[in-house]
Structure 1
């Protein structure tokens, strides 16, 4: 425990003082947080209700809780807001107003009539996120993107909404263009899988081997599940659209060049054992984005917010403006 506190104290000093190396050493947390945490969960507030932003492409469903400067979270491939770890969100809400929303076609976020089947990509989903930020009148925003959500967050930071962004956090995501390392085909097939064994297979790629059994037992119980929220299955059409958007991300050299001029202070976080998006993506992002700081978490996989929800929450909270 003393070792973990010392590591975390050094991390916080680096974040607040800007003392962050271009290539960070692994950060080691003492124990996985999967299963049985005694910590705040925002969905236990009976007053918490889903709200809707009238986005340009249709309604965008969101939840808003906590108090402080705003943190907007963008989730990943085939994921709903339920895929955020409730304890991670609870830790953020200790010092920040937290906004989570569903990407288009997921949960309560539906395209306008006639928009189904229309091709869209990262820029379009970034426009949806921008609509949330604009409609809610948010300022001094920290945007946190996980996995595909990190790609959306990068695109968001390159657009007009960047004027409202004060910090950018990219978790377990990929660099754009030829410098990015795409996920392997077999991993993509697992993440898109259906059937009785799909859950176990997906846990096997989201977590390192020593955390898989805990993930199988406790992942569902640790998910953010507000009262009345319906995490309906993601349609094959939405999955295919998102998959094509991800594939095009790795051909977007324009985004890579633009990121080299990005002035938003950025924290890049990844698991050293990420089997979905290689850790090399995060190293590349830290090189491309001049003000970026890099944190590589030892013994962590792609879904590291479920492994270390309180530690990651503290890390993001300290990086975001107060």
Structure 2
């Protein structure tokens, strides 16, 4: 991509909602797509090539910081219901109409709650490397809980979001890390590590996301749902989505090979194309 990428030039904007200020950036034009970010992530955690590729595929992309994190004000929490409220309030305040709601990791839980609580705002749901609600057939790995509670170096980045056993994946991690470092100005402050660690717990949980209403929604909704995952996700194994095959009537599952908890970082252009194809298949 060139240096005039809309991702790098997009300015942070703010909207006041219910006594807090939500920070967001919006770029591109076309189908509105709102993305809820991962644990310990801010607007700057999205790979710029993934976002640029979504714009090229005809999306108007909005990213934002959760309440009390990054550049947003308010009470900070990682409770998925509160994160979902941030997304719902932002969509409503910006008058985006029906959106494709997307979410990565804990943001994917928030996206599922948006689908459950405000289906009138959602045309499609795109879930990236996240967990379904309810009991799991395969829990996450302890290594994630170790790395998530400390400052992370490049080796942690590879282990978390890529496949350390693959040289091609490691090369993709180097490229993604360079892209993430390109934005120099108007950055969101990092999520405090100590605070985030205190929200996490000591090890894998089963279930991670015990919200029966969300599972029932996924079993009965007519809204198309895509899970875009990885073959070695140490946080939220994709096998848990395959275990629901046949129970969720609108679920599409795309699993990208030789990668970890950031499949859209290793395959940014392909991930955007998969999302565009999914939305195009179910134009509403």
Q: Compute the displacement of 1:227 (Å).
A: 5.8
In the TM superposition, what are the counterparts of 1:75-114 in structure 2 within 5 Å? 75-94=37-56, 95-111=58-74
Residue 237 (structure 2) aligns with: 278
**1:177-188 counterparts in 2 under 5 A?**
177-179=134-136, 181-188=138-145
2:105 matched to 1:147? Answer: yes
Q: Take 1:158 and 1:122, find their aligned partners in 2: how far apart are those partners?
A: 12
Which of these residues, 27, 31, 48, is aligned with residue 65 of structure 1? 27
Separation in structure 1 between the aligned mates of residue 217 and residue 47 of structure 2, nearest angstrom: 32
Higher gyration radius (CA): 1
207, 210, 214: which one aligns with 2:171: 214
CA distance in 2, matches of 1:40, 1:282: 38
CA distance, structure 2, for counterparts of residue 305 and residue 150 of structure 1 = 14
1:102 Cα offset (Å): 1.2
Partner of 1:319: 278
TM-score for both structures, normalised by structure 1: 0.76
Counterpart for residue 121 of structure 2? 164
Q: Is 1:41 aligned to residue 5 of structure 2?
A: yes
* In 2: Cα distance, 1:198 partner to 1:57 partner: 36
| Alpha-carbon RMSD | 2.7
Distance 1:284 1:238 in 2: 33
Does the CA contact (< 8 Å) of 1:51 and 1:62 recur in 2?
yes
Q: CA 1:268–1:224 in 2, change beyond 3 Å: closer, same or farther? A: farther
| Per-residue Cα deviation, 1:7-35 (whole angstroms, up to 9, x for no partner) | xxxxxxxxxxxxxxxxxxxxxxxxxxxxx
1:214 deviation in Å?
2.3
Offset of 1:260 from its aligned partner?
1.4
Structure 2 counterpart of 1:251, from 196, 202, 210: 210
The equivalent of 1:29 in structure 2 is none
Moved more, 204-213 or 289-298: 204-213
SS in 2 for 1:221: helix
Partners in 1 of 2:230 and 2:238 — Cα distance? 7
Q: Provide the aligned length of Structure 1 versus Structure 2.
A: 275
Structure with bigger RCO (C-alpha 8 Å, 6+ apart): 1
**Could you list the runs of 5+ residues in structure 2 that have no partner in the other structure?**
none
Q: How many Å separate the matches in 2 of 1:300 and 1:123?
A: 29
- The equivalent of 2:88 in structure 1 is 130
